[in-house]
Chains A and B, each alone.
Chain A
Amino acid sequence: MEEIRNYTMNFGPQHPAAHGVLRLVLEMDGETIVRADPHVGLLHRGTEKLAESKPFNQSIGYMDRLDYVSMMCNEHAYVRAIENLMGIEAPIRAQYIRTMFDEITRILNHLMWIGSNALDLGAMAVFLYAFREREELMDVYEAVSGARMHATYYRPGGVYRDLPEQMSKYRESPWHKGGDLKRLNAWREGSMLDYLTEFTNDFPARVDEYEALLTNNRIWKQRTVGIGIVSPEQAQAWGMTGAMLRGSGIAWDLRKKQPYAAYADMDFDIPVGVNGDCYDRYLVRVEEMRQSNRIIQQCVAWLKANPGPVMLRNYKVAPPSREEMKNDMEALIHHFKLFTEGYGVPAGETYAAVEAPKGEFGCYLVSDGANKPFRVHLRAPGFAHLSSIDAIVKGHMLADVVAMIGTYDLVFGEVDR
């Protein structure tokens, strides 16, 4: 019989299941993976170096573009690093707003993940349903910052502005009119917080819908149960965090273990998996959506009851209001200095991490006292996760690689930075 040799297959970068720009060189024995060598960096933009060339505040917008489906969580890590070094703390209302938007972001991210992972494994409908709710939450992003995705809303010392009194409404157009328009605007009569109350009351039923489509779906279970098993030891050694770690049964969540913002006051549970396979990680993430919904409800209730400042009244860090600038020379000078030169950050180094939807997103910031960071390093969870693909996927079939890429929840904006 003729000898059969391994052959090499190129997967991506132009492949719908490559989640952007992953190039995966696979060494195959028949349909079994012998070695997987991911080639990343096709989306490398040098964010860290760019940040070193600009005043601190001008890089917040770059953070949105790292993991572009969990925008505000990235901002949160960067802003917290600056606040650490400066020794300032945002007002309590800003902390609650950040907590609320971190959780909105987590739901946005998990909806994107559940949709695209299901799409990769052959379930088209989930994607369409998930985008229905994403749309509603992106309207909240827009209401608060003016941008649907890249918000640049968190600032050192607080958040850019307070929550709007009036939620934006659909206007009559050839596409939205009559009863349709009424339905679209039904939640939007009151403030943004009223809108979120309606959303959070409705959302658990929506999660039930996704579960109805997937949890007991035979094909879904065949594609995920027992696939890509990560042992707890492996998960730690490979630097895994977030759902990848919790799926393997380790109850580790920075929101509980090293609380930041207002998480210490929140009541929520940490779901963990048992087997560490793709199906457990699916269940963990679905439950995280329900828990995020609970946190949003608690934040909404608190924010309705407690008005207050959302930004420090410290003009060396945060700009004065337009109104004050008209009457006060000092305020005008502060504003000018802040937007031309920025602010100096005391020399030192810090590492600030947040529990981003994908895992621990950290910002290592070194300052030498200048108005620009000396070194910014962004610790992206996806980078650590993807590096383990060779160890996890070895011996699996080619189709399981797609399931694995999906369960890693990869976004190349953060992997390549």
Chain B
Amino acid sequence: MSVINETSLVERLAARFGDMLSVKVQRNEVTAEVAPRDLIAVATALRDEAGFRFGTIIDVCGIDYLGYGKAEWDTDTAQGESFSRGVEGQAMGRFTWEERPRQVEQQRRFAAVIHLLSIELNQRIRLRVPCEDDAFPVVPSITPIWPGADWFEREAFDLFGIIFEGHPDLRRILTDYGFVGHPFRKDFPLIGNVEVRYDPEQKRVVYEPVSIEPRVLVPRTIRNDADLDQARAESADHWREN
């Protein structure tokens, strides 16, 4: 996105909002973190004021930071013994609905992420709104500002349980009628909780607990041995040809 002039957008954001936003630029993408209480004021200004003109809502999505940066396979500390076998951990592919972790601790676990686009000025911005209460995550709804946020917020509510205060019609959207739980949370099992089948005796569709076993084929690994730096160095000096 080379055509977008990020520096000037960042300067304009800093001049207009000051401490209300903490702005970061990575790979030419502008991310601004905003507290829920300031969101409506910031969003309205971003839509209406000259220099921003973010008229198009691109996306709103939830994110659950539970387990961020945790690996299942210890690749750092192995000294005398070998590495672990990569079967530990509580990743979402490893437990059933009954065994799901119930007491989870994570500061500022949920956030809503909003992507905006300005067609007039050809610029994009990402707003991250962290939810303050993990047990009851609440974010003000931006549906009154961009009607297109309606379904995106319903989706984030459905999948993550984030409440959008002021949303006109906050119902589930993607999951089944009568579904229990918020499936994209990291403490929701990957295999799900219920399955359906047609029961010929009762002559109707019945819901039952899932019958499949949880399994993980590839453990989650974080290698801090600068894999990619090495890769870049290797591709840079063409060691294979020498």
Contacts and interface: CB of A to CB of B under 8 A. Distances in A.
B57 A44 contact: no
A371 interface: yes
B174 A44 contact: yes
A238 B4 CA distance: 23
Contacts of B152: 383-384, 387
Interface residues of B, number: 59
B87 to A, nearest CB: 14
B31 A349 contact: yes
Contact of B59 (A328, A362, A417): A362
B187 to A, nearest CB: 12
Interface in A363-417: 364, 366, 368-372, 374-375, 377, 379, 383-384, 386-388, 391, 416-417
Given A258-B4, A317-B231, A377-B61, A344 B119 contact: no
Contact of B218 (A55, A362, A387): A55
A371 B73 CA distance: 11
B168 to A, nearest CB: 11
Contact of B173 (A40, A52, A237, A377): A40
Contact of A49 (B4, B155, B172, B183): B183
B220 A236 contact: no
B92 A239 contact: no
Nearest to A383: B151
A29 to B, nearest CB: 21
B200 interface: no
A259 B122 CA distance: 12
A237 B220 contact: no
A379 B147 CA distance: 16
A71 B176 CA distance: 26
Interface stretch (A119-127, A167-175, A180-188, A335-343): A335-343
B58 A362 contact: yes
A377 B235 contact: no
Contacts of A372: 218, 220
Contact of B151 (A49, A257, A371, A387): A387
Interface string A312-349: 11111100000000001000000000001111101111
B220 A371 contact: yes
A46 interface: yes
Contacts of A370: 71, 220-222
A85 B218 CA distance: 21
B27 A343 contact: no
A238 B57 CA distance: 7
Given A312-B235, A314-B231, A348-B27, A371 B218 contact: yes
A239 B57 contact: yes
B119 A314 contact: no
A197 interface: no
A366 B175 contact: no
Contact of A237 (B55, B61, B122, B232): B55
A34 to B, nearest CB: 16
Nearest to A353: B58
B67 to A, nearest CB: 8
Contacts of B223: 344, 369, 371
B227 A316 contact: yes
Contact of B184 (A48, A313, A341, A368): A48
A158 to B, nearest CB: 13
A67 to B, nearest CB: 16
B1 interface: yes
Interface in B120-168: 122, 124, 126, 146-152, 155
Contact of B119 (A55, A238, A250): A250
Interface in B89-115: 91-93, 113, 115
A283 interface: no
Interface string B166-188: 00000011111000000110000
A371 B221 contact: yes
Contacts of B31: 349
Contacts of B175: 41, 44
A252 B56 CA distance: 12
Contact of B148 (A52, A375, A377, A388): A388
Contact of A316 (B126, B172, B173, B231): B231
Contacts of A416: 174
A368 B69 contact: yes
Nearest to A44: B174
Interface in B188-221: 190, 216-218, 220-221
B29 interface: yes
A86 interface: yes
Contacts of B41: none
Contacts of A341: 218, 221
Contacts of A374: 68
A350 interface: yes
A362 B115 contact: yes
B213 to A, nearest CB: 14
Nearest to A341: B221
Contact of B58 (A41, A239, A257, A316): A239
A313 B59 CA distance: 35
A340 B176 CA distance: 35
A53 interface: yes
B40 interface: no
Contacts of A328: 240
Which of A58, A236, A259, A328 neighbours the largest number of chain B CB atoms within 10 Å of its CB?
A236
A247 to B, nearest CB: 14
Closest 3 CB pairs of A and B: A239-B148, A316-B231, A387-B151
8 contacts: A53-B216, A86-B228, A237-B55, A237-B57, A239-B146, A344-B222, A370-B71, A387-B152
Given A44-B174, A351-B126, A362-B115, 9 more contacts: A49-B184, A53-B190, A87-B27, A239-B56, A257-B122, A313-B240, A346-B228, A351-B29, A384-B152
